[in-house]
Structure 1
Amino acid sequence: MLRWTVLCVLGLGLASATNAEKYKGQYIGKLSTLHHDVTGDVYAVDNITIYIEGFSYDGEAPDAFFFAGNRDSTPSNRGFIIPDERGRNQVLGPYRNKNMVLRFPVTKKGQRSLNDVQWISVWCRKFAIDFGHVKIPKNVAWPEAQVTEGLESDRPVLRSSAVRITDTDTFKLDDFTFDGTVQDAIFVMGSGDAKASGVQVMDEKGTDNPLKKYSKKTLLLTIPPEVRGQPIQYFGVWSPSKGMLASVTFDPEAYIPPSVKSLV
């Protein structure tokens, strides 16, 4: 089946991201180099996930962890461990120019996040020494999934409770229902006029076949490679014979999370 395209620049809601520079999330800052050759650039993937690019540490300290806290304005023992890139609370070994994704833990106080902390450090608990840290800015809008109202149409019956861009690679449709009576309907996305055909989005199986009948299905859809890295303004179900059956719009300037797969 032909892929339907429009002759305009399409996009993905990454604000200042460009094809020339990989989008990594909201830049927080560089880890200070105080001891043991610690260095690395820290980005927020979302408010509970960070990406460290080019992380280095010689691994020679006896009790070093990724550590974060909020009770003191500079690193101290009053904080909590951020699990390593494998999700382990283990003493850090050596790293050299490593790219890694770290997720904040769930503790007895609930899910920790960037909103809870003033700093992130490579911290030795045994000797209470900060090997390098970055300060977390306040009042920052961290990248987050963009959620909009659901699709809605009575003829044909076409509904979903919500449509969301979860990251730079993925869409999610909640409770998607379609009666299948329009036999050439496909998923599309694009910028500008939502009545346009846009670029076809493959179905949940990765095929370009017309949509079949669905009943309250949750679908994960992959954003087409040719439109990644630029702002998306609408998503919809479109028919070559009948036009746009239903669509939703997004803020093309919103920061959404980068795909973790694209980072490591």
Structure 2
Amino acid sequence: MLFCYYEKVNYLFVLYVLCNYYPAACQEEEDGPYHGKYLGKFNSYHHQVSGDVYAVDERTLLLKTNVLERYFNKDFTLVLPDKKKITDIKWFAIYDIWSQNTFGDIYIPEGFEPPTVQNIALLTGKTNAISTSAVEILDAKRIRLNQFVYDGKPKKAYFWVGVGAQPVVKGTKVPDDLDPLRAYKNITITLDLPGDITIFNIDWFSIFDHESKRSLASIIIPEALNVPPSLVKIIPHKNELPNCLQLHRDFQVSWEIFGPQITIQLAGQIAENEYLSFGISGSDERSQMIGADVAVAYIDGYRGFATDYNITALTPCVKVLGQYKGVCKDELVGGQDSNQMNTAVRENGINIITYRRTLISHENMEPAFHDLYSKTDVTIQTSPKEPQNNCFAFTKSKAILGEPWKKGQIFDKTIRVFNTYIGPSGGKKGYQAITGHSSTALAWYVNGLLAPELWLRRGLSYQFRVRGGNDPHSAEYYHPLIITDEPHGGIDRRLDDDFESYKKFNRSLVVTCQPGDPGILELTPNSSWPDIIYYNSFTQANMGWKIHVVDSFNQRVYSRANKSVAPFLLMLSLLIYQALFIV
């Protein structure tokens, strides 16, 4: 027999292998959420043990029971030890080893098949080169398309699910950032069904083109699939305003117009130190950041903010030749804050911020690089004949992060010259993973490496050849190189997170330069310099990284923690020409 300890020493959940078989009725639950395949109820012998048992997958049981005082009317899961499967055991018991009494047990039916990943028909299409090597239903809310191929030519195609005999316009987008599908080439993707939708209440899955109103490819979802329950937590959210638009699976906006004013509510599943942004495009024809009038909404402690910003350049707000440019508060650029804050609350990890403003504008947490954004034009009919609401419940699952790129390091006692350029920051796998800092769209490259750590030896002279821009009128591309003991310093979008490694990312870049010579920064570290300094941009924060200053290259990491170091600052603003990595 196998013992699985789960409570006090005198109580054991016992798994018996190769024991007698006793049939148990197998039934599916009719109401409530899906918990897995139903095994049956506990047979009760002592202490009024009762409850239901479900098979979550081939190795996991879910108990909905009053077992022991600590777990009275609680749900909890047990994973079988030693890689045992449910099909390897005959029965499961709650057993007291001191009195050698069984309080309750349940028998595993012969031929029982626990929930597992199910393969269904392939997703293929006669147009747009649509194909898959396999389609898997991972659990009640997840679909995986293996080696998915799609040419991305239709402009308004989405992953689409619904009910009925075949795909139709009436359905629901499956979150792929809720943007039209891009091109895919042998990419394996996992899709989460939105809100409270599960695999059991849809009939089909499709790639649906809303411009031509036809399905490009579809598959029928078989009934009563024996799959594991979903571990995704559904977080209900009720919209208080009549109109609601789902901008992203983690971001929705609702609104109501009364007279010349509009009340807007932003709801987003974000971290406590993140913000939501929403506003009017800078163009009447398309979604455009330049010229946009936006609200940046966040909660600081118990206080909410919905600050009015004007966007004049794709960069954080900087002062260029006496004028503020970039994403700046309206008050800094001669305008006024048009937003009137109403309410702000954080519930279940969701920031809900409501504010009011006039329909026509009369025109601190500073926004920087944003992780989520609309990649296509988004239009809103503010005064529909009937209220519109396509929002669904928020869901929360364990984040699966891709492997960050390998961190660059330059540790070479023979190097005296460093070539520095400006290029894309590489998204979450790049600068943010390397430094742990939030980033703008750009970062420093040194000798071809993205924000590497450098090692310099005291007493040796070094030269930095700086190519960071020579136009002080440019808020985006003017970056004097500075070297200080302060780690931070002072938008061309790419799918950087899709690159598996820095090597593949680097090979996608092309160097483009304006004519001229680089600016030269020469320095000789001495004994007064701190052990750690940083190279960065003078105009924008978080573009560079760390420099180690050592006494000898024989010891890579050297500590001078006990040495008092005077305040240190070295800065050079001499730049001759601009070089950018671009696609």
Which among 206, 212, 217 is matched to residue 236 of structure 1? Answer: 206
Whole-angstrom CA distance in 2 between matches of 1:52 and 1:120: 11
What are the superposed Cα offsets for residues 179-202 of structure 1, whole Å, 9 maximum, x if unpaired?
Answer: 211121100122333342352333
The one-letter amino acid of 1:221's match is L
Identity of aligned residues (%): 28
The one-letter amino acid of 2:186's match is K
Whole-angstrom CA distance in 2 between matches of 1:16 and 1:262: 22
Q: Which residue of 2 aligns with 1:39?
A: 50
Q: Which residue of 2 aligns with 1:136?
A: 108
Please show how residues 100-179 of structure 1 align to structure 2 within 5 Å: 100-105=76-81, 107=82, 111-124=83-96, 128-153=100-125, 155-179=127-151
Q: TM-score, normalised by structure 1?
A: 0.67
The one-letter amino acid of 1:254's match is L
TM-superposed CA distance for 1:53, in Å, is: 0.7
What are the superposed Cα offsets for residues 148-185 of structure 1, whole Å, 9 maximum, x if unpaired?
Answer: 13222353122222222222222222222222111211
Whole-angstrom CA distance in 2 between matches of 1:128 and 1:179: 66
Q: Which residue of 1 aligns with 2:71?
A: 95
Q: Which residue of 1 aligns with 2:68?
A: 57
Uncovered stretches (5+) of structure 2, i.e. residues with no partner: 1-26, 235-583
TM-superposed CA distance for 1:32, in Å, is: 3.2
Q: 1:122 to 1:260 in 2, by over 3 A?
A: farther
Uncovered stretches (5+) of structure 1, i.e. residues with no partner: 1-14, 59-93
Q: Which residue of 1 aligns with 2:229?
A: 258
Whole-angstrom CA distance in 2 between matches of 1:195 and 1:163: 18
SS state at 1:152 partner: coil
What are the superposed Cα offsets for residues 2-44 of structure 1, whole Å, 9 maximum, x if unpaired?
Answer: xxxxxxxxxxxxx9665x5222222222223434664332112
Whole-angstrom CA distance in 2 between matches of 1:184 and 1:190: 17
Whole-angstrom CA distance in 1 between matches of 2:28 and 2:47: 35
- Asked if the contact 1:166/1:172 (under 8 Å) is kept, the reply is yes
Whole-angstrom CA distance in 2 between matches of 1:210 and 1:203: 10
The one-letter amino acid of 2:217's match is A
Which among 179, 184, 189 is matched to residue 209 of structure 1? Answer: 179
Whole-angstrom CA distance in 2 between matches of 1:229 and 1:219: 17
The one-letter amino acid of 1:208's match is L
- Asked if the contact 1:201/1:221 (under 8 Å) is kept, the reply is no
- Asked if the contact 2:141/2:199 (under 8 Å) is kept, the reply is no
Q: 1:26 to 1:226 in 2, by over 3 A?
A: closer
TM-superposed CA distance for 1:125, in Å, is: 5.2
Q: 1:195 to 1:57 in 2, by over 3 A?
A: closer
Q: Which residue of 2 aligns with 1:67?
A: none
SS state at 2:43 partner: coil
SS state at 1:115 partner: helix
Please show how residues 214-229 of structure 1 align to structure 2 within 5 Å: 214-225=184-195, 227-228=197-198
- Asked if the contact 2:175/2:194 (under 8 Å) is kept, the reply is no
- Asked if the contact 1:121/1:133 (under 8 Å) is kept, the reply is yes
Q: TM-score, normalised by structure 2?
A: 0.32
Count of aligned pairs between the two proteins: 207
TM-superposed CA distance for 1:120, in Å, is: 0.7
- Asked if the contact 2:121/2:134 (under 8 Å) is kept, the reply is yes
Whole-angstrom CA distance in 2 between matches of 1:133 and 1:262: 30
1:23 aligns with 2:34: yes
Q: 1:229 to 1:55 in 2, by over 3 A?
A: farther
- Asked if the contact 1:24/1:43 (under 8 Å) is kept, the reply is yes
- Asked if the contact 2:34/2:229 (under 8 Å) is kept, the reply is yes
- Asked if the contact 2:65/2:71 (under 8 Å) is kept, the reply is no
Q: 1:202 to 1:55 in 2, by over 3 A?
A: same
| RMSD over equivalenced CA pairs, Å | 2.9
Runs of 4+ with >6 A deviation: none
Whole-angstrom CA distance in 1 between matches of 2:184 and 2:29: 35
Q: 1:251 to 1:257 in 2, by over 3 A?
A: same
